[in-house]
Amino acid sequence: MVQLRKGVLDMCVLALLARQDGYAYDIASRLAEEIGMGEGTIYPLMRRMQADGLVRTYLEESSSGPPRKYYQLTKAGHAALASQKTEWNTFTAAVARVLEGRSAGPAAKIAGGNR
């Protein structure tokens, strides 16, 4: 299950940022709540996403200390999210068919899926 979570982490971060800009700790807290991701995972991920051009950063004053670095999706980030969501939906639909024993077409008949 840990590998599955890691595999969808990028998509989850992009989805959160598509709704609202956020700073790393806030994003990590939301993901920890929803999918049980550890806080230490977010910082390298955000650096990589920035290097890949999926997010950009800006500083905003904070009432509780130094300015916070906020992350915002770029056009490339929005495009990556759309692509990943399409792939995810296709994948989860295929997994559901397998789990429910439904045929996916000729390949399922060849594999003995239609008895």
Query: How far is residue 17 from each of residues 13, 27, 94, measured CA to CA in Å?
Result: 6, 8, 27
Q: Which of 30-39, 58-67, 68-77, 91-100 has the lowest mean pLDDT?
A: 30-39
Asked whether residue 64 is assigned to any structural domain, the reply reads: yes
Specify burial of residue 50 (Cβ count, 10 A radius: 0-12, 13-18, 19+). middle
The CATH number covering residue 106 comes to 1.10.10.10
- Pick the closest to residue 32 from 5, 55, 14 (CA basis): 5
Asked whether residue 73 is assigned to any structural domain, the reply reads: yes
Asked whether residue 99 is assigned to any structural domain, the reply reads: yes
Q: Which residues contact 13 (CB under 8 A, 6 or more apart)?
A: 27, 31, 42, 45, 46, 49
Interval 78-107: pLDDT, tens: 999 999 999 999 999 999 999 999 876 665
Domain total of the chain: 1
For the chain, the residue count is 115
pLDDT on residue 64? 87
Asked whether residue 55 is assigned to any structural domain, the reply reads: yes
Q: What is the pTM of this model?
A: 0.79
What mean pLDDT is reported for the chain? 87
**pLDDT value at 113 more than 70:** no
Residue 42 belongs to what domain range? 2-110
Asked whether residue 115 is assigned to any structural domain, the reply reads: no
Q: Which residues contact 7 (CB under 8 A, 6 or more apart)?
A: none
pLDDT on residue 36? 76
